[in-house]
Amino acid sequence: MLSPDSTSTEPEDNPGDFRTFFRASASDSHLVDAVVQLLHDFRWRFIQVVHSGDSSGRKGAETLTRLARAREICVRSRYVTQKGFPTQNRGVNY
């Protein structure tokens, strides 16, 4: 199977389920790596993350948070968009 726009990391996380899967765009994990590298290169130390409420958005935000912490970048807050409007994700310690 060839997907022209899939960015989900699920095929990489479960290769047995996706033995013949190929993509034409970079996976979310590569995109998050690039964003964190840019943040590090520009010496940004505090960020806010805005993401969609679906599984792809949540997983991307979790990966970004984890990789940012490894580079000593503080994620001050995360906002989840719902129907086009961001709402602060409160009560969760990042």
pLDDT in tens, 49-84: 999 888 888 888 999 999 999 999 999 999 998 765
- Tell me the C-alpha distance between 71 and 13, whole Å: 23
Percent of the chain predicted with pLDDT > 70 = 59
Tell me the whole-structure pTM to 2 decimals: 0.65
> Which of 71, 77, 76, 73 has the alpha carbon at shortest distance from 90?
77
Do residues 50 and 86 lie in contact, with contact meaning Cβ atoms separated by under 8 Å? yes
* Predicted pLDDT of residue 36: 96
Please name the residue that has the structure tokens 């409420």: 53
Above 60 in pLDDT, residue 42? yes
* Predicted pLDDT of residue 28: 75
Length of the chain: 94
User: Residue ranges per domain, the chain?
Assistant: 28-88
Q: Out of 3.40.50.2300, 3.60.20.10, 3.40.50.300, 3.40.50.720, which CATH number does the structure's domain 28-88 have?
A: 3.40.50.2300
Q: Report which of residues 61 and 29 the model is more confident about.
A: 61
